[in-house]
Amino acid sequence: MASDQSFKLTYATMFNPPELLHEQYDAALARIKADMGREYAMLIDGKEVFADEKFENRFPADTDVVLGVFQKGNAEHAKAALAAARKAARGWAHTPWQERVALLRKAAEIMDRRTFEMGVVLSLEVGKNRMEGLGDVAETADLIRYSCDRMEANNGFINPMGQDPLTGYVSKNTSVLKPYGVWLVISPFNFPAALSGGPSGAALVAGNTLVMKPATDTPWTSRLIAECFKEAGIPDGVYNYVTGPGSTLGQALIESPEVDGITFTGSFDVGMGIFRDFAQGRYVRPTILELGGKNPAIITKNADIEAAAVGIVRSAFGLQGQKCSANSRILIESPVYDRLVARIVELTEKLSIGDPTDRATYLGPVVNKGSYRDYQEFVGELKAAGKILTGGKVLTDGEYAKGYFCAPTIAEVPYDHRLWKHEMFVPISTVGKFEKLEDAMAIANEVDYGLTAGFYGTEEEAKWFFDNIEAGVTYANRPMGSTTGAWPGFQPFGGWKGSGSSGKNAGGLHYLQLYMHEQIQNIVRKA
Ligand code: NDP
């Protein structure tokens, strides 16, 4: 493990990885491969907890490979985890915020030290390529640190207010933001580190205790995050990690009156169901929802075509199109349409597809059989309604035989086709031509989602784009990614409309406050 400490992954090195990164990744991969298939417990009140039923976590690039065996938790485990979190809530809330910050910073440091191990696990269970896997871990540590920074910058959110002018009295007012109590974090498969660890870090720094439930496809990464919390010395019961189906274990958590607040990241349909069920409690509780996206890029005739093509291909097909921020709609002004589409197709066809742990791989498999099936169905629909410009098939020969490999696909279909509005969440993007910028903007905004959006054109046009686009994270002229690649402290991440409920982006100035409620303390004495 010692070699892991000699290299630190940062925002800058993500784009320009040194050779040492690959050496350390390969070493971690060898260690993990030698120890695969183990059974992992849940962590409740600091103890390893086993359920009667188990489930297997398999490698989506080769489904013969069992990565680990995990616990199929049920309603009893939900109850036990919430009870542990409740028991620890008072003590943690009354722990001085500086101590909480110190413990969370320590957890982030441990994640830094374990970056390569965790990055490998992310490639194995999600199918992320090397840089995407490592990036997810680095982002998690930075999200946690960002919450710590905000706590410090705001002096623990304890602020003196004005003294009201009462004759004969001195009236002192203080605003204090305090934790809600027990916080539930439910995360999706695609960023199991950042979307478990980021909200968990915010909840914990703010002084809430935690129950964390990852997606069934990706239980391992979140287990490692829980281990980092433990190793950092965060007290037993303050963090709890449970695994099992969303429909049973997850639903039991949602229906419990013991949950004081929730952060759910996942699909629109599941999120809206959770929103409605959670609203059945005795009173309104904070509900942070981070949901799907259908992210457009608009490219004008004045755009740098090469920058646009590179950015679009990265954002359409990074993580096999399974990012909430994936660039799934590409709107191109007519005079540059043919040239840009040809270049996008050319770059797409150069993408390397294979084992996500291989250094040369850009696209790994999609996460599971359901996504593999979805891809084939969408391709069938698109073929029937329009033209597949590249891709449009699953890969089944040789090294692809045992995995869920899909060729990255660009399709041209009329704007009234339903897949222009439906989040497909596989490596398929649609392209369309426009004559007037206003028409492109109308199409871009004509969906229930509003997560990210990209633009390529002049700076003056970009200003118009920012003024009119309905999305929480917007980018112009960015070859690093048309709609993806947000980083805490730089591009805080969150959605508008059906993409998010809070209107405040994670890794930004206003996020941590969502995990606390305000108390005004007024004390009066005679002058
Ligand atoms: P899902 O909505 O299928 O699942 C998300 C989580 O919810 C999983 O842990 C799942 O558990 C759990 N769950 C499912 N049903 C219930 C229930 N009834 N009660 C409680 N929990 C439940 O999403 P995916 O994992 O497929 O993730 C992809 C989706 O996430 C996409 O729509 C994507 O856009 C969105 N997303 C949004 C982001 C954002 O920041 N806005 C970021 C990343 C992804 P189980 O796996 O056991 O079913």
Residue 394 has what pLDDT?
98
Q: What pLDDT shows up at residue 164? A: 94
Q: Which atom of ligand 1 is nearest to the CA of 290?
A: 41
Beta carbons of 209 and 517 less than 8 angstroms apart: no
Question: Residue 248 Cα, ligand 1 centroid: separation in angstroms?
Answer: 14
Query: In 194-319, which ranges are continuous DSSP H helix?
Result: 194-205, 219-232, 251-255, 268-278, 305-317
Pocket probe for ligand 1: among 71, 77, 267, 278, the residue whose CB has the most ligand atoms within 8 Å is 267
Q: How far apart are CA 106 and CA 188, in angstroms?
A: 25
**CA of residue 227 to ligand 1 center, whole Å:** 22
Which ligand 1 atom is at minimum distance from the Cα of 253? 20
Residue 200, phi-psi category: left (phi > 0), alpha (psi -120 to 50), beta (remainder): alpha
Ligand 1 atom with the smallest distance to the CA of 251 is 19
Q: How far apart are CA 462 and CA 131, in angstroms?
A: 29
Protein residue with least CA distance to atom 13, ligand 1? 246
- Locate the ligand 1 atom nearest the alpha carbon of residue 499 and give its number: 41
Torsion on CA atoms 101, 107, 110, 112, rounded to nearest 10: -70
Smallest CA separation from ligand 1 atom 20, residue: 250
Per-residue pLDDT of the chain (527 residues; tens, 9 = 90+): 334 445 566 666 677 788 999 999 999 999 999 999 999 999 999 999 999 999 999 999 999 999 999 999 999 999 999 999 999 999 999 999 999 999 999 999 999 999 999 999 999 999 999 999 999 999 999 999 999 999 999 999 999 999 999 999 999 999 999 999 999 999 999 999 999 999 999 999 999 999 999 999 999 999 999 999 999 999 999 999 999 999 999 999 999 999 999 999 999 999 999 999 999 999 999 999 999 999 999 999 999 999 999 999 999 999 999 999 999 999 999 999 999 999 999 999 999 999 999 999 999 999 999 999 999 999 999 999 999 999 999 999 999 999 999 999 999 999 999 999 999 999 999 999 999 999 999 999 999 999 999 999 999 999 999 999 999 999 999 999 999 999 999 999 999 999 999 999 999 999 999 999 999 999 999 99
Determine how many CB atoms are found less than 10 A away from the CB of residue 459. 9
Q: How far apart are CA 67 and CA 33, in angstroms?
A: 9
Q: Does the model's pTM come out above 0.75? A: yes
Task: Determine which residue's CA is closest to atom 24 belonging to ligand 1.
Answer: 188
CA 357 to centroid of ligand 1, rounded, Å: 24
Query: Distance, CA 322 to ligand 1 centroid (Å)?
Result: 12
Pocket, ligand 1, Cβ cutoff 6 A: 186-191, 195, 213-216, 245-247, 250-251, 254, 265-267, 270, 273-274, 290-293, 324, 423, 425, 451, 495, 499-500
How much is the pLDDT for 464?
98
Task: Point out the residues that are catalytic.
Answer: 290, 324
Q: Measured from the CA of 451, which atom of ligand 1 is nearest?
A: 41
User: 462 CA to middle of ligand 1, Å?
Assistant: 33
Which of 70, 71, 140, 190 for a ligand 1 pocket mutation test, highest count of atoms within 8 Å of Cβ? 190
Taking Cα atoms as reference points, which of 451, 512, 474 lies closest to residue 146?
512
Q: How far is the CA of 215 from the centre of ligand 1 (A)?
A: 7
Residues across the chain: 527
What confidence score (pLDDT) does residue 498 get? 98
Q: Report pLDDT for 37.
A: 97
What spacing in Å lies between the alpha carbon of 175 and ligand 1's midpoint? 36
Nearest-CA residue for ligand 1 atom 30 is 266
